[in-house]
Amino acid sequence: MRVRDPLVQISAGLWMMARTWGCNVYIVGEGRPSFIDAGFPLDTRSIGRMLRSRDPAGPEYLVATHYHLDHMGSMSRLKKQFSCHVVAHQDDADIMEGTAPYPTFKLDPLRAFYYKVLGPLYPYECVKVDRRLTDGDVIDLMGGLTVVHTPGHTAGSMMLFQPDRRMLFTSDTIRNEDGVLDGPPPQYTPDMESAFESIEEKVMALDFDILLPGHGDVILSGAREAVGRMLQERKVAR
Ligand SMILES: [Zn+2]
Ligand SMILES: [Zn+2]
């Protein structure tokens, strides 16, 4: 499913905000909405605008699938603007709160230059995590979203699984950019082996049909088989 409009309804009570500076932002709930990831700090404005036209009370929960700035960068401002609860996996929460250092990445020269020049303009925006999650916890959204801890991209990377609707929010651990289903971006993934182990052992054990990635296009059917093919192709290529 290729999304071109800024806010697209995916199914009952689920929308996706695709034109952001950061990641895909998922909005859940018919009444006061909640967010699964919320983009860069730069995205706060368009999110705020959209929220004011929809529900002036703002979001109820902001769920961060991991600590990277393109997923939680707008959360501190949204939390100040509206009264909402931030939830994240316990292994990423200290970095999000600024009590543990933000890890550095080994980048190619072009990206390193880009970060050196533009990095100071977009500093990491820490936010208080109101609820620290662990594997198997259930978030009271969409009739129950189960936390699937999938470390590797970050220590506290998590997916969210809705078993009745067979939906899986995969964050950066499975992306679907430019029609290519893939694991997490290698440059920003310190432990690729663990990430793929998580996919093989935990993701493939789930009964899901719909895949909602952190970047790229949503897959509306046959997602588990597509992930199986991706794993197979990776094995052949190695
Ligand atoms: Zn990431
Ligand atoms: Zn990302």
CATH number at residue 75: 3.60.15.10
What integer is the mean pLDDT of 195-213?
98
Specify if 1 maps to a domain: no
> What does the pLDDT look like over 107-141, one tens digit per residue?
778 877 777 777 777 788 999 999 999 999 999 99
pLDDT at 3 exceeding the cut of 70: no
| 19, 24, 45, 167 from 11: Cα distances, Å | 18, 16, 25, 11
CA of 100 to the centre of ligand 2 (A): 20
The kind and range of the H/E element at 170 are strand 167-171
Specify if 136 maps to a domain: yes
**Residues 207/213, Cβ–Cβ less than 8 Å:** no
pLDDT at 13 exceeding the cut of 50: yes
Query: Partners of 133 in the beta sheet?
Result: 89
**Residues 212/202, Cβ–Cβ less than 8 Å:** no
Q: How many helices (H) and strands (E) does the chain have?
A: 7, 14
CA of 172 to the centre of ligand 2 (A): 5
CA of 172 to the centre of ligand 1 (A): 5
Query: Which of 41-45, 76-80, 82-86 is least confident?
Result: 41-45
CA of 31 to the centre of ligand 2 (A): 27
Query: Partners of 15 in the beta sheet?
Result: 9, 27
Q: Alpha-carbon torsion 186, 191, 196, 202, what sign?
A: negative
Specify if 2 maps to a domain: no
Contacts of 116 (CB under 8 A, 6+ apart): none
The encoded tokens of residue 108 equal: 């190619």
Q: What average pLDDT does the chain have?
A: 91
**Which ligand number lies closest to the CA of residue 71?**
2
Q: What is the pLDDT of residue 186?
A: 93
What integer is the mean pLDDT of 93-105?
92
Specify if 191 maps to a domain: yes
Q: Which amino acid is at 197?
A: E
Specify if 31 maps to a domain: yes
> What does the pLDDT look like over 18-33, one tens digit per residue?
778 889 999 999 888 9
Q: Distance between CA 141 and CA 138 in Å, rounded?
A: 9
Specify if 210 maps to a domain: yes
Q: How many domains does the chain have?
A: 1
- Complete edge-to-edge strand list for the sheet that includes strand 158-162: 138-139, 145-149, 158-162, 167-171, 210-213
What integer is the mean pLDDT of 137-153?
97
Q: Which residues surround ligand 2, an ion (CB under 5 A)?
A: 23, 70, 172, 214
Q: What is the pLDDT of residue 161?
A: 98
The residue with tokens 């620290």 is 132
The pTM assigned to this predicted structure is 0.93
CA of 135 to the centre of ligand 2 (A): 20
**Residues 78/38, Cβ–Cβ less than 8 Å:** yes
Specify if 127 maps to a domain: yes
CA of 16 to the centre of ligand 2 (A): 15
Specify if 108 maps to a domain: yes
